[in-house]
């Protein structure tokens, strides 16, 4: 029998070493794969590096790619720390973008100073309601949150499909691409750096990470989140309103995911469509896990993911590596990272059978 | 003189700087019941692990039937005739009893199930153990699992059987049965080592070795010693007889009127329970665990809701209030299961001490008040003698006794009017028990009404003003401590109603 | 080394070289493809097939090479196009029209590059952005006629990708064909909301079979499902009868050759002769008569179909090609009965 035993604590050096080793092994395996395909390893990795960190422009592009993942990563951290297994980030990203768009329909030509906060607020409310709904199902009817959130993901994705495929939000004269008209300038998230599309969503994501860290470490709510994750029974015995705590956690998690939708739609694409948001929520779960369910860790993991995404893009454009190999490489690196993140937190014990 | 079955000579075992066993020598003869007696942490379990080959000793020799002991694993031990019945179960829940016993212990690839089953049934019959070899361990009760553990040792015809706190999970009836089996084994020439801290059991042994802080204090024949002497040897000092200050019983503080708590099926967990506890009074609840003690405590604390009836605290009905509101009225609750209901093991001692008050007293604005938390933790560690290197240690790393001190520190402070204590001394050493009794009696002197449920009658007799007995969710009767005796309470616990209720 | 910097230097050098070379005839052409799915989907597969053939034929004596980029979405696709343009190696960037926003943002930055948007929807941008459209409604009509004749349950299904205009037109003309010969045909329409998702395609096909359909038009290419249920079905874009002879009666085929030739001619005219780009802002598609689409052969079903039906289809096919029979383009959202 193999058993995973939680480690009491792992020093940062050991953690660093584990992730560095994962990186090395991941790249070695990828290199073998590239060599097998006949492409040049140096050219491939050179392009990957260029895209990830090679120039100011590339770095800024990586940050743009990381931004929504920071939000969904944080959403994962908040929920999973309380051992609430919400898989609803994907749908909440959509819900956020949709509620933000809904708000624009009433904002007309209101200046950005007014419209942007309204959009953000509307999105957060939308995401929070969606998360909160699953929290309510969990606390009121004992509906498992994994099931309810996954189901709701489908509902919201198809709702957007309906709205955009000839439904009321469809751009006139273009039913085919499932998109709204392009937003007017007052609905664009302001840019932090001109020409590279790095928008205030990135700054907002860092602020959100800081707030999450403070909540978890310094507030009574964070205390409850941690305690709830470890032992809800003791909380109940101490008279803590566990129902309320679960609802609050789900609302916060939903609101964070919603911000990912805002940042992707209002910061980058400037019109609402579904395909550009696909996967942000699910990737956020991985980001949160690799980040060790820690807000700072999630930011670092998201930045790595963003760099990897942009690096992969450069790799597929600039090198001769077959296009199908690039996502495979991403998968390989991810697997090594996930393995490292498990090994950092658990040690593996090989146990004999029952008689010990 | 015949060769002793097992003999330890100058045995030493250290874990880093911790000296778990130091220079221990003794021997056990065939057909003898030998007891290892000592507080938790005195080195009993380490010693038994050395005897079964789980830990190699740092120094000294172990002779088994005159030969030096050489064992690579527990499976080796069991095959060469040393059986160990664990305190904690090490059975695979999804295997049958039979599978648990034979798999991994039998040599060779093919397990002779048929023969094994026949042999097992034979053993069950010989020793009067009622257990179905083909039942899944998952479906067994806690008591039955203990029998399965024992069977495992018996199956391999052990010459030496080590029993580590075997009665911890058994009720009185089954404990008696265990000792009948032990007698039979003795008659068959098996050497037995019993690890225990129950004096009742200890006195049934032939000889007793008392351990304290890893060292052997002495070995006594039970026929030539007294429980008092053994206790003194174990604690290292005289245990003062508990002296209960008589406090004047004040007006009614906690009143239960016909309280019924619904159960899973038709049978209620708590059935029409009524009583009153006055200021400065301690009401004890006796009874075998599982007869409604937990529902009673939980319904008063507001963790569960009564299906029927009222609970009144100082004239205010609390049976419809939330647990935190009841707590804020001055109720403390020491729950049954320390590490599940009482503490969050992964959180630090400091954090556990403020559990439940993290939004009240220990919050400053939107944040936790860390200086105040620290101050509270340091004060509690000092006042309640919690032995820990720091307040940042996870509560789960504490021993049972220290964990209970953390809970006691937290709840004692909350309990300005009522203190509920469910099995407050279970599994603890005499030293800790004594300490907890003292602290509880302090609360009584402050006029707090107290409800203590314990399966240790000694506990109740020394603490309580009155004792009630729960049997299958019903309150069988309440007697005054100074007007009752063990027989009367025993009858109540067996479900016999009382004629002269107090 | 900083690849990007050297690339942009390379690009400006190439631009300079380009201005010198105006009078000279270009001999090389690089095409960058940014498509929505990948070569596993029929749409992309046909394009690659026709592109490979075209490279063999070397129009204008050009040495043509191409690079296919998959798995990028939204702004990432924009970044990829930008990067392709910066390398200076690609003179034509052929993008799925999902990315028209990104092309719009780049077309002025790279005035010498010819951008192609392919597929329905979005907008014709004009200038150096050309719009390639596919309408396969004519062969779809013929498939519909066959379905109307062959169905026994009178329930006919279509499993489509998205309800987009260049999918809707096929579905609508398919049912128009079916009803032209069998007015009792009941329609079942489902969209899997993806350009490529075999698992979903199977689910939706099974649902249609369960709803009574004994013939389905598989815009999503899930033929094993038809085989398992022993029903007949029709393929789309590529000749699926070759690979799934047991279930596919015939397929509606598309060809990109003329579109590719058109785009390459336009680029060559610009590069060699300095002719300004004049991208179309309205839809441009190649009809069945001109070889833009076709009806496949019957393969294994050639012997199973009645002579009357084969004759009928041949006549209708000839009528469409001669312009005698005009199949209207109906973009309305198809619905089930």
Instruction: Say yes or no: B317 contacts chain A, CB-CB below 8 A.
Output: no
Decide if C167 and A310 are in contact by the 8 Å CB cutoff: no
Decide if C120 and A176 are in contact by the 8 Å CB cutoff: yes
- Verify that A67 and A4 share a domain, yes or no: no
Pick B358's closest partner by Cβ from A223, A234, A236. A223
How many angstroms separate the CA atoms of C315 and C305, rounded? 15
- Verify that A28 and A105 share a domain, yes or no: no
DSSP-derived letter for residue B88 is S
Q: Mark A104-117 as b/e (b = at least 16 C-beta within 10 Å).
A: beebeeeebeebbe
CA A148 to chain C, closest CA, distance in angstroms equals 21
* Subunits adjacent to chain B (3 or more Cβ pairs under 8 Å): A
pLDDT higher than threshold 90 for residue B246: no
- Locate A115 and state its tokens: 């419209």
Residue whose C-alpha is closest to residue C333's, from C138, C121, C168: C168
Instruction: Say yes or no: A230 contacts chain C, CB-CB below 8 A.
Output: no
Tally of residues, chain B: 502
Q: CA–CA distance from A22 to each of A29, A59, B40, B178 (Å)?
A: 10, 22, 44, 55
* Residue A174: predicted pLDDT: 62
Segment 131-170 of chain B within 8 Å of chain A by CB? 152
pLDDT higher than threshold 80 for residue B288: no
* Domain assignment of residue A316, yes or no: yes
Q: Decide: C298 and C310 in contact? Cβ < 8 Å.
A: yes
Domain containing A326 equals 1-39+321-356
* Domain assignment of residue A46, yes or no: no
- Verify that A300 and A193 share a domain, yes or no: yes
Instruction: Say yes or no: B303 contacts chain A, CB-CB below 8 A.
Output: yes
How many angstroms separate the CA atoms of A221 and A242, rounded? 11
- Verify that A130 and A96 share a domain, yes or no: yes
pLDDT by 10s per residue, chain C, length 337: 444 444 444 444 444 444 444 446 889 999 999 987 777 888 888 999 999 999 999 999 999 999 988 777 778 888 899 999 999 999 999 998 888 888 998 999 999 999 999 886 567 888 999 999 999 999 999 999 999 999 999 999 999 988 888 899 999 999 999 999 999 999 999 998 777 888 999 999 999 999 999 999 999 888 988 998 899 999 999 999 999 999 999 999 999 999 999 999 999 999 999 999 999 988 899 999 999 999 999 999 999 999 999 999 999 999 999 999 999 999 888 999 8
- The string of pLDDT tens digits covering residues A228-242 is 989 999 998 988 899
CA B351 to chain A, closest CA, distance in angstroms equals 8
* Residue B128: predicted pLDDT: 83
* Domain assignment of residue A273, yes or no: yes
Decide if A275 and C98 are in contact by the 8 Å CB cutoff: yes
Residue whose C-alpha is closest to residue B146's, from B123, B165, B169, B127: B169
- Verify that A245 and A125 share a domain, yes or no: yes
Average pLDDT, chain A: 89
- Locate B17 and state its tokens: 């700087």
Concatenate the DSSP letters of all residues of B163-215 into one string.
Answer: EESTTTT--HHHHHHHHHHHHHHHHTT-EEEEEE--HHHHTTSSEEEEEETTE
- Locate C186 and state its tokens: 């009941």
- Verify that A106 and A21 share a domain, yes or no: no
CA A80 to chain B, closest CA, distance in angstroms equals 15
Decide if A236 and B368 are in contact by the 8 Å CB cutoff: no
Instruction: Say yes or no: C30 contacts chain A, CB-CB below 8 A.
Output: no
* Domain assignment of residue A298, yes or no: yes
Helix ranges (DSSP H) in chain A: 12-37, 41-49, 56-81, 89-107, 112-141, 145-164, 200-218, 220-230, 232-237, 242-264, 280-290, 295-318, 325-345
Decide if A268 and C67 are in contact by the 8 Å CB cutoff: no
Total domain count, chain A: 2
* Domain assignment of residue A49, yes or no: no
Chain C residues inside the 8 Å CB shell of A264:
74
Q: Decide: B154 and B182 in contact? Cβ < 8 Å.
A: no
Residue B497: CB atoms within 10 Å: 12
- Verify that A313 and A326 share a domain, yes or no: no
How many angstroms separate the CA atoms of A9 and A240, rounded? 28
- Verify that A240 and A300 share a domain, yes or no: yes
* Residue C141: predicted pLDDT: 96
Helix axes A56-81, A242-264, angle to 10 degrees: 160
ipTM over the 0.90 cut-off: no
Q: Decide: A177 and C121 in contact? Cβ < 8 Å.
A: yes
Residue entry with tokens 């005839």? C25
Instruction: Say yes or no: B103 contacts chain A, CB-CB below 8 A.
Output: yes
Decide if A175 and C164 are in contact by the 8 Å CB cutoff: yes
Biggest CA pair distance of chain B: 77
Instruction: Give every CB contact of residue C157 below 8 A, 6+ residues apart in sequence.
Output: C187, C188, C189, C190, C205, C208, C209, C211, C213, C215, C216, C217
| Chains A, B: CB pairs < 8 Å | 96
Average pLDDT, chain B: 83
CATH number of C22-132+256-273: 3.40.50.2300
* Residue B140: predicted pLDDT: 77
Judged by 3 or more CB pairs under 8 A, whether C touches B is: no
Decide if B100 and A220 are in contact by the 8 Å CB cutoff: no
pLDDT higher than threshold 50 for residue B102: yes
* Residue B501: predicted pLDDT: 44
Predicted confidence band of residue A28 (pLDDT cuts 50, 70, 90): very high
Residue whose C-alpha is closest to residue A329's, from A319, A277, A59, A281: A319
CA A110 to chain C, closest CA, distance in angstroms equals 24
- Verify that A80 and A144 share a domain, yes or no: yes
B206, with CB counted inside 10 A (0-12, 13-18, 19+), is middle
Helix ranges (DSSP H) in B384-423: 400-414
**Residues spanned by CATH 3.40.50.2300 within chain C?**
22-132+256-273, 137-254+293-322
How many angstroms separate the CA atoms of B21 and B46, rounded? 7
Decide if A237 and B90 are in contact by the 8 Å CB cutoff: no
Segment 145-164 of chain C within 8 Å of chain A by CB? 162-164
* Residue C38: predicted pLDDT: 76
Chain C residues inside the 8 Å CB shell of A197:
75
Helix axes B430-445, B227-235, angle to 10 degrees: 90
How many angstroms separate the CA atoms of C121 and A165, rounded? 12
How many angstroms separate the CA atoms of C167 and C192, rounded? 12
CA A91 to chain C, closest CA, distance in angstroms equals 16
* Residue A160: predicted pLDDT: 93
- The string of pLDDT tens digits covering residues B304-333 is 999 999 999 999 999 999 999 999 999 999
- pTM confidence score: 0.74
How many angstroms separate the CA atoms of C250 and C240, rounded? 8
Q: Decide: B312 and B494 in contact? Cβ < 8 Å.
A: no
- Residues of chain A contacting B, Cβ within 8 Å: 8, 218-220, 223-224, 226-227, 230-231, 233-241, 352-356
Chosen from A177, A178, A267 to mutate, greatest number of chain C CBs within 10 A: A177
Chosen from A83, A237, A244, A345 to mutate, greatest number of chain B CBs within 10 A: A237
- Verify that A93 and A179 share a domain, yes or no: yes
* Residue B87: predicted pLDDT: 62
**CA-based nearest residue in chain C for residue A58:** C4
SS3 content of chain C, % helix, strand, coil (to 5): 45, 20, 35
Segment 277-316 of chain A within 8 Å of chain C by CB? 278, 309-310, 313-314, 316
Tally of residues, chain A: 356
- Calculate mean pLDDT across residues B171-192: 86
Residue whose C-alpha is closest to residue B461's, from B253, B276, B241: B241
* Residue B495: predicted pLDDT: 67
Q: Which residues pair with B198 in a beta bridge?
A: none
Residue entry with tokens 């077309």? C107
How many angstroms separate the CA atoms of A107 and C167, rounded? 34
Domain harbouring A213, CATH code: 1.10.3470
- Verify that A350 and A259 share a domain, yes or no: no
Residue whose C-alpha is closest to residue A258's, from A91, A76, A47, A32: A91
C136, with CB counted inside 10 A (0-12, 13-18, 19+), is buried
Categorise residue B280: left if φ over 0, alpha if ψ from -120 to 50, beta otherwise: left
Chosen from A54, A61, A171, A175 to mutate, greatest number of chain C CBs within 10 A: A175
CA B136 to chain A, closest CA, distance in angstroms equals 14
Instruction: Give every CB contact of residue B4 below 8 A, 6+ residues apart in sequence.
Output: B27, B28, B29, B30, B63, B191
Instruction: Say yes or no: B323 contacts chain A, CB-CB below 8 A.
Output: yes
- The string of pLDDT tens digits covering residues A176-207 is 677 888 899 999 999 988 777 899 999 999 99
Q: Decide: A281 and A154 in contact? Cβ < 8 Å.
A: no
Q: Which residues pair with A51 in a beta bridge?
A: none
pLDDT higher than threshold 80 for residue B236: no
* Domain assignment of residue A50, yes or no: no
Decide if A317 and C163 are in contact by the 8 Å CB cutoff: no
How many angstroms separate the CA atoms of C221 and C305, rounded? 22
Residue B423: phi, psi to the nearest 5? 50, 55
Instruction: Say yes or no: C167 contacts chain A, CB-CB below 8 A.
Output: yes
- Verify that A114 and A13 share a domain, yes or no: no
Q: CA–CA distance from B315 to each of B252, B254, B272, B311, B319 (Å)?
A: 9, 8, 20, 9, 12
CATH class label, C137-254+293-322: alpha beta
How many angstroms separate the CA atoms of B461 and B284, rounded? 8
* Subunits adjacent to chain A (3 or more Cβ pairs under 8 Å): B, C
* Residue C65: predicted pLDDT: 93
Decide if C80 and A270 are in contact by the 8 Å CB cutoff: no
* Domain assignment of residue A147, yes or no: yes
A6, with CB counted inside 10 A (0-12, 13-18, 19+), is exposed
Instruction: Say yes or no: B366 contacts chain A, CB-CB below 8 A.
Output: yes
Q: CA–CA distance from A14 to each of A17, A23, A280, A291, A347 (Å)?
A: 5, 14, 30, 15, 13
* Domain assignment of residue A347, yes or no: yes
Q: Mark C20-45 as b/e (b = at least 16 C-beta within 10 Å).
A: eeeeeebeebbbbbbbbbbbebbbbb
* Residue B500: predicted pLDDT: 47
Chain B residues inside the 8 Å CB shell of A356:
74, 90
């Amino acid at each position: 029998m193999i058993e995973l035993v939680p480690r009491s604590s792992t020093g940062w050096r050991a953690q660093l070493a584990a992730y560095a080793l994962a990186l090395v092994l991941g790249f070695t395996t990828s290199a073998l794969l590239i060599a097998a395909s006949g492409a040049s390893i140096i050219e491939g990795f050179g392009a990957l590096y260029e895209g990830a960190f090679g120039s100011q422009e590339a770095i800024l592009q990586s940050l743009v790619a990381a931004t929504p993942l920071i939000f969904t990563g944080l959403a994962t951290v908040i929920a999973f720390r309380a051992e609430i297994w919400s898989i609803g980030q994907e749908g909440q990203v959509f819900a956020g973008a949709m509620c933000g768009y809904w708000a624009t329909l009433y904002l007309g030509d209101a200046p950005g100073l007014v419209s942007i906060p309204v959009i953000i607020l509307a999105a957060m409310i939308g995401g929070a309601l969606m998360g909160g709904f699953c929290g309510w199902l969990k606390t009121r009817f004992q509906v498992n949150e994994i099931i309810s959130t996954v189901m709701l993901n489908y509902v919201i994705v198809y709702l957007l499909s309906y709205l955009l495929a000839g439904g009321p939000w469809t751009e006139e004269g273009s039913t085919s691409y499932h998109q709204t008209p392009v937003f007017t300038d007052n609905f664009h998230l302001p840019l932090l750096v001109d020409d590279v599309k790095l928008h205030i969503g990135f700054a907002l994501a860092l602020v959100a990470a800081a707030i999450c860290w403070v909540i978890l470490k310094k507030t009574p709510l964070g205390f409850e989140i941690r305690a709830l994750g470890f032992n809800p029974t003791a909380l109940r015995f101490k008279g803590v309103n566990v129902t309320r705590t679960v609802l609050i956690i789900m609302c916060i998690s939903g609101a964070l995911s919603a911000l990912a939708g805002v940042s992707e739609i209002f910061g980058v694409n400037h019109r609402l469509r579904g395909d550009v948001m696909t996967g942000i929520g699910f990737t956020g779960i991985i980001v949160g896990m690799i980040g060790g369910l820690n807000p700072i860790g999630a930011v670092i993991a998201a930045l790595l993911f963003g760099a990897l995404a942009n690096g992969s893009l450069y790799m597929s454009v600039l090198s001769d590596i077959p296009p199908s190999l690039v996502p495979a490489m991403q998968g390989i690196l991810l697997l090594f990272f996930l393995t490292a993140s498990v090994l950092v937190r658990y040690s593996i014990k090989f146990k004999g059978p029952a008689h010990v | 003189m015949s060769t002793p079955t097992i003999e330890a000579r100058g045995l030493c075992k250290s874990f880093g700087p911790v000296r778990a066993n130091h220079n221990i020598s003794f021997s056990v003869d065939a057909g003898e019941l030998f007891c290892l007696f000592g507080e938790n942490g005195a080195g009993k379990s380490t010693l038994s692990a050395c005897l079964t080959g789980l830990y190699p000793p740092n120094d000294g020799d172990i002779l088994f039937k005159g030969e030096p002991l050489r064992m690579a694993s527990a499976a080796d031990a069991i095959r060469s005739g040393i059986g160990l019945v664990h305190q904690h179960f090490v059975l695979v829940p999804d295997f049958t009893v039979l599978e648990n016993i034979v798999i991994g212990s039998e040599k060779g690839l093919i397990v002779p199930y048929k023969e094994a089953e026949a042999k097992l049934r034979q053993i069950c019959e010989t020793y009067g153990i009622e257990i179905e070899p083909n039942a899944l361990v998952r479906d067994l009760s806690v008591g039955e699992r203990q029998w399965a553990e024992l069977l495992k040792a018996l199956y391999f015809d052990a010459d030496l059987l080590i029993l580590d706190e075997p009665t911890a999970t058994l009720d009185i009836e089954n404990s008696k049965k265990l000792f009948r089996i032990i007698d039979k084994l003795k008659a068959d020439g098996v050497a037995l080592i019993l690890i225990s801290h129950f004096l009742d059991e200890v006195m049934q042994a032939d000889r007793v070795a008392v351990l304290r802080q890893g060292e052997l204090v002495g070995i006594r024949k039970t026929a030539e010693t007294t429980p008092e002497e053994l206790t003194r040897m174990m604690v290292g000092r005289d245990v003062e007889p508990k002296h209960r200050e008589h406090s004047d019983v004040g007006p009614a503080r906690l009143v239960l009127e016909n309280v019924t708590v619904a159960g899973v099926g038709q049978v209620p967990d708590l059935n029409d329970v009524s009583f009153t506890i006055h200021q400065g009074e301690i009401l004890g609840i006796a009874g075998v665990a599982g007869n409604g003690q937990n529902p009673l405590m939980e319904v008063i604390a507001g963790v569960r809701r009564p299906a029927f009836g009222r609970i009144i605290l100082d004239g205010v009905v609390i049976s419809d209030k939330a647990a935190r509101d009841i707590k804020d009225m001055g109720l403390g609750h020491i729950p049954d299961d320390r590490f599940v209901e009482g503490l969050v093991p992964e959180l630090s001692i400091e954090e556990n001490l403020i559990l439940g008050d993290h939004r009240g007293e220990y919050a400053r604005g939107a944040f936790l008040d860390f200086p105040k938390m620290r101050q509270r933790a340091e004060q509690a560690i000092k006042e309640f003698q919690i032995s820990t290197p720091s307040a940042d240690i996870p509560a789960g790393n504490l021993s049972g006794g220290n964990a209970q001190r953390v809970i006691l520190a937290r709840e004692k402070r909350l309990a300005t009017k009522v203190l509920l204590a469910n099995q407050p001394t279970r599994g603890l050493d005499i030293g800790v028990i004594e300490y907890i009794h003292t602290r509880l009696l302090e609360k009584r002197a402050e006029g707090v009404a107290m409800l203590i449920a314990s399966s240790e009658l000694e506990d109740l007799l020394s603490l309580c003003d009155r004792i009630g007995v729960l049997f299958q969710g019903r309150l069988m009767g309440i007697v005054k401590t100074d007007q009752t005796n063990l027989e009367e309470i025993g009858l109540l616990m067996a479900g016999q109603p009382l004629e002269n209720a107090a | 080394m900083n690849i990007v910097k050297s690339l942009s230097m390379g690009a400006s050098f190439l631009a300079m070289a380009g201005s010198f070379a105006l009078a000279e005839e270009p001999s090389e052409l690089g095409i960058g493809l940014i498509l929505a799915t990948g070569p596993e989907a029929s749409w992309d597969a046909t394009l690659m097939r026709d592109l490979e053939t075209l490279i063999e034929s070397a129009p204008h004596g050009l040495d043509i090479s191409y690079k296919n980029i998959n798995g990028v979405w939204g702004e990432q696709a924009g970044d990829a196009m930008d990067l392709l343009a910066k390398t200076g190696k690609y003179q034509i960037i052929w993008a799925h029209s999902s990315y028209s926003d990104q092309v719009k943002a780049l077309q002025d930055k790279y005035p010498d590059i010819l951008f192609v948007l392919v597929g329905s929807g979005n907008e014709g941008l004009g200038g150096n952005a050309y719009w390639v459209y596919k309408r396969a409604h004519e062969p779809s009509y013929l498939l519909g006629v066959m379905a109307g004749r062959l169905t026994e349950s009178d329930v006919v299904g279509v499993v489509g990708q998205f309800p987009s205009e260049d999918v809707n037109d096929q579905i609508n003309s398919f049912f128009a064909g079916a009803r032209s010969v069998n007015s009792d045909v009941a329609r079942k329409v489902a969209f899997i909301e993806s350009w490529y998702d075999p698992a979903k395609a199977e689910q939706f096909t099974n649902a249609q079979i369960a709803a009574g359909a004994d013939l389905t038009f598989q815009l999503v290419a899930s033929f094993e499902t038809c085989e398992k249920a022993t029903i007949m079905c029709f393929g789309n874009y590529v000749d699926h009868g070759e690979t799934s002879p047991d279930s596919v009666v015939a397929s509606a085929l598309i060809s990109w050759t003329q579109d590719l030739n058109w785009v390459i001619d336009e680029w060559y005219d610009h590069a060699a002769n300095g002719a300004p780009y004049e991208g179309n802002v309205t839809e441009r598609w190649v009809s069945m008569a001109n070889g833009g689409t076709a009806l496949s052969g019957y393969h294994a079903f050639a012997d199973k179909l009645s002579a009357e039906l084969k004759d009928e289809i041949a006549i209708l096919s000839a009528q469409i090609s001669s312009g005698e029979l005009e199949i209207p383009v109906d973009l309305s959202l198809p619905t089930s009965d």
